[in-house]
Structure 1
């Protein structure tokens, strides 16, 4: 080792990035039952929720130095006067205009790029926020970079602890024999976390009834496999990836049976592929500019993703995900091009997933 130089694993985007919803509306009151129910729904989507009736207090709050990303919900009443004051705030990720009385005629997103949607129905608003939350989870997937000088001959004391913990935890989770109690405890946790979200509670009921695979469900589109559940547009995807991103050990252990089942299904599909040549795949996402610089400075190193990595065989599909990051001045849009060794453990998905148009 050269004197004064530490050869360590650089962890990229492994910090506990939080997503908070901040709501500005002249009529919202925590004492009102409808408002309380709305806030409870928001808390199933983001890490925290704050409400304001006064625009100045709202602006004072969101302009304070903070690490978390903010999803802003702004009443149409305040939108025109407040957008010029908040649009360039760095920590503001996205803005949504909400007015449950009448649709707005203003095309806000043409003038303000951070405006990602408008809604007159609360369910529509929640769906928009869920979609953005999922996109952010993809962008903030926990990754680690081992510099090229360290890829071979690296001792354990030179690696970042979070990198080692994730590897050890993976080995433990895949080796545990789970019983029905594991699923029951996880379902209980989900019902507590999503108690205010009727749509997710319905999905949780389905998960309890039809998992594990095969379940021969008549209510669902097909026999739902672990990968089908993971790719379904529901609580499982975000919940699992957030736990992996933040190294939430308690939730990771609760979901251990599900992680193991996904891994085993990937192994089963891989055995059926019989590929002999490397497979070219792509992944589009956003990355914080500073972390992208670290990535560029470690060319030839080992890049490790701490989750089930989704890619596409279609370059244009992957590019469309990268383009989503271009509206954020703090993010760099990245298109990964990967050559997958046939001996690696991966799966080419088709009927196993809940959607068919991404060639995953």
Structure 2
């Protein structure tokens, strides 16, 4: 977690400690939670898996404790949560979290696909049981795109609707768009924006390489 406090900046909000986490959640809309009692922070295999997941969703949180994981999911009031667990953990935790409104989908990553598919079919939020991390990532990618589309406030407006009857979120988005298009950004503003992005994605090597 990034802890160094950023310098005060008129264009970009400060990023430090907990505030950085909040800013990420506001921007990303999707939080990915990976729960597995075999996760090892120093393990090359765990790090490789984490890197693959961060290529799909920047905001990834790992847990090895069921209770801490559930508390975290409940705390995500303004986000959609994607949850990945092993088969053994899933069997116990699904009844506890399935009806939490923040939980959007559940993926099971395990070695015994056929066994866990038998009971998983009874839980609508379980999107699949996988033995291949690539298939997990493909499913996450599709789900993330779906969530992003649903989160976009701009939508097609029929011609018979009056402007004063449009949703406030639509009009605010239009105003922001027009404002940004009119601003003449200078090189110093672009550098400040890159600095801001580097701090925002401090724990995501994939995004940092892109920046």
TM-score (norm 1): 0.39
Distance 1:17 1:160 in 2: 21
Distance 2:29 2:71 in 1: 19
> How far off is 1:150 after superposition?
3.4
CA contact (8 A) 1:26 1:53 kept: yes
What is aligned with 1:164?
175
Following TM superposition, the consecutive aligned residue runs of length 4 or more in structure 1 with deviations greater than 3 angstroms are 159-162, 168-173, 192-197
Which structure 2 residues correspond to residues 1-360 of structure 1 after superposition, within 5 A?
A: 16=27, 18-99=29-110, 101-107=111-117, 108-143=119-154, 148=162, 150=164, 160-170=171-181, 196=206
Distance 1:64 1:35 in 2: 25
> How far off is 1:165 after superposition?
2.3
> How far off is 1:171 after superposition?
6.7
Q: How many residues align?
A: 162
Task: Decide whether aligned partners of structure 1 residues 119 and 131 sit closer, same or farther in structure 2, where only a CA change above 3 A counts.
Answer: same
**Which has the higher Rg, Structure 1 or Structure 2?**
1
Distance 2:93 2:131 in 1: 19
Task: Decide whether aligned partners of structure 1 residues 149 and 54 sit closer, same or farther in structure 2, where only a CA change above 3 A counts.
Answer: closer
Distance 2:31 2:76 in 1: 14
Distance 1:149 1:66 in 2: 31
Q: Alignment partner of 1:167: what SS?
A: helix
Q: Which runs of 5+ in 2 are unaligned?
A: 1-25, 185-193
Distance 1:19 1:65 in 2: 10
> How far off is 1:194 after superposition?
8.2
Q: Alignment partner of 1:46: what SS?
A: coil
Deviations 1:19-70 (A, max 9, x none): 0110111111112122122112222211311111121221122122521110
Task: Decide whether aligned partners of structure 1 residues 194 and 82 sit closer, same or farther in structure 2, where only a CA change above 3 A counts.
Answer: closer
Q: Which runs of 5+ in 1 are unaligned?
A: 1-14, 152-158, 174-184, 205-250, 252-360
Task: Decide whether aligned partners of structure 1 residues 104 and 140 sit closer, same or farther in structure 2, where only a CA change above 3 A counts.
Answer: same
CA contact (8 A) 1:17 1:69 kept: no
CA contact (8 A) 1:95 1:114 kept: yes
Higher helix residue share: 2
